[in-house]
Amino acid sequence: PDVIIEAQFDDNDAEHGQDHLQDMLTDDIKKLSLDTGEKGKAAGVTGVHRTKQDDGPKANDPRLLPDEFLQRTAKVVYILEKKHSRAATGFIKLLADRNSELFKRCAMFSPVDHRVPRVYVPLADCPPDFVSKPEAYSQMLFICRIVDWKEDSNFASGQLCKSLGQAGEIEPESEGILMEYGVDFSDFSPEVLECLPQNLPWVISPGELAKRRDLR
């Protein structure tokens, strides 16, 4: 409903004074109103007639506009289930403001996944020499778990879980992905290992092989 019309004028327009500029704006508004009316008829809008009495608060009422001219909006009121693991891989660095009180207590964790917010982590979770040698950890991957994210803050708060290793290497990158998605990659328990054949090397017997489809 709010329309801003920008009028461009040069020195010649300035010589005609403010009245000429006002006339230009009036003509543009009339033209825009006519164009809008024609578009409304082409879209099948019927039963809406503008009169002098309509030029009031109801003229800008969005409820009177057709659905194709409206953008639906919504508001999240409740979270039924939290699907994300709250764990992310990323890098740690010192805060930019060295004079702030937060600089003495926290570091900034920047996730690799940009859908995850940046996180304040306690300096106590960081390596002991991180403050004195932050450049030594610029390419070191860490796992951070988000513990809180206040509504009025751009940054979450969390805790560093562990150091994975150098970024770009296969093992640290793979472990980070597994932890982010909550995949349990810990060692199998003794009970599970007992289910496996104990006499090694193990081979399929000819009778069992005859009952199977060979996909080798």
pLDDT in tens, 45-89: 444 455 545 555 566 787 788 888 888 889 989 889 888 889 999
Question: What residues have CB less than 8 Å from 159, skipping those under 6 apart?
Answer: 121, 122, 125, 144, 145, 147
Q: Up-side HSE of residue 208: CA atoms within 13 Å toward CB? A: 4
- Is 169 among the domain residues? yes
- 197 lies in some domain: no
Assess whether pLDDT exceeds 60 at residue 11. no
In a domain, 15, yes or no: no
User: Number of folded domains in the chain?
Assistant: 1
Average pLDDT across the chain, whole number? 81
Whole-angstrom distance, CA of residue 122 vs CA of residue 201: 50
Domain carrying residue 151: 87-181
Q: Residue 35 domain-assigned?
A: no
Write down the pLDDT at residue 25: 63
pLDDT band at 9 (very low <50, low <70, confident <90, very high): very low
Tens of pLDDT, residue by residue over 154-184, are 999 999 999 999 999 999 999 999 999 889 8
Q: Is 75 a domain residue?
A: no
Task: Give domain status of residue 79, yes or no.
Answer: no
- Report residue 210's pLDDT band, with 50, 70 and 90 as the boundaries: very high
Q: Is residue 106 one of the residues assigned to a domain?
A: yes
Whether 205 is in a domain gets the answer no
What is the distance between the alpha carbons of residues 134 and 88, in angstroms, rounded to a whole number?
Answer: 20
Query: What gap in Å lies between CA 111 and CA 155, rounded to an integer?
Result: 12
Q: Domain of 117: which CATH number? A: 2.40.50.700
146 exposed, middle or buried (CB, 10 Å; 0-12, 13-18, 19+)?
buried
